[in-house]
Structure 1
Amino acid sequence: MSTSRSRVLARTAVIGIFASTAVFGLTGVASAHAGKVSASCDKETSTVTVNLHDYTQGSTNTWTLTDNGEELGKGSFGKGHQQTWDKQDATIKHEYVLTVKTSDDPTGEKKWSFTAKAEADACKKVVPPTTPPAETTTPPASTTTPPAETTAPPVTTTTSAAVSTSPAPAAAPAEDDLADTGASIALPLAIGGVLVLGGAGALIAVRRRASNN
């Protein structure tokens, strides 16, 4: 009775060992060829990380990472690859796409070849640049005015002297001139008086004679 029981226990133990080995093997396969991409933006720092592990050394394994449609990095790896970018622009949103290819799963049926996505929102405000005030300094207007030409041609003021039509008065004979002749002025005056008196007498006689007739 005890021998049979021992055999049953032995068989059970063997079965348990095989079952454990099978489960361990399945777990190992399931956990192999793992990878992911993660992104975050915190305290004005935007980062993205690629983590690939448990791939087969010697297989053809490649990876490519894009950021908003533009290639950020790519390469080949063996058992695994890990890389972090920690200087991404924190003022914009990022959409990352990781593409992994392995020769162990060329069709992606086992999901060892896969495409994964990760996003990181902006976490930093954009500060508009400070525009310096426009220069308002205006150069002083030139106030220097050239002096006006004040030089005028001289006006001709020549005036013809008025011609006097009046005869110049006869110059009175100087006493010195009469003295130079040696004659006295009394004699001519006496002769003139006699002639005047004679003429007056003749005129009176003529009038009397005429009245008597």
Structure 2
Amino acid sequence: MTATAALASLALATPAFAHTDNVTAKCDEKAQKAVLTVGLTQYGSSADNTLTITVDGKEQPAIAFRGAFATKTWEFDATVKHDFKVSIKAYDDPKGTNGWSKTYDRSTTACVKYVPPTTTTTVSPTTTTTAPEAPSSSLAPSSTPPAPAPGGSTPEPPLAATGASPLWLLLSGVGLVGAGAAALLVVRRRRA
């Protein structure tokens, strides 16, 4: 009876994990992307578990995780078919005998038609003006620069849009003013 109780307590002392997997592949027509989503929970945390993803025959670097792998999505071109292979190797089931180490095969079809970009070319009209011929005389050519074209000079090209925002400058200025005001209050309270 004592041996049975000891074996039962050993069996109950081993960790119980549900090894919950969420592996999906779909085509998001609204975003026009093929999406692979992987989320793994309740895996053992005493050692590293391994997640390996193969996309269209190209194996990506393995990802080690303990306990859980937070749900992550990867986006791909939706104009072509994709084949995904998601392999999970649980440290406590290296040969897959318990069903915790497993491989999922998922795929997406091309769900967005490729529309080649259209190029349009616009031709601006050109005007040429010719100056009247000067009579052939002994006058030397003028050394003054030519006058600008009627209507003023050519406009400057617009500045490049770099995506930088002036908001950080404004916020840092407000922060500096606030820090100065706080320092002033501290100094005045000490004097009082």
Q: TM-score, normalised by structure 1?
A: 0.44
Q: TM-score, normalised by structure 2?
A: 0.49
Q: Rg bigger for which structure?
A: 1
Of Structure 1 and Structure 2, the greater helix share is in 1
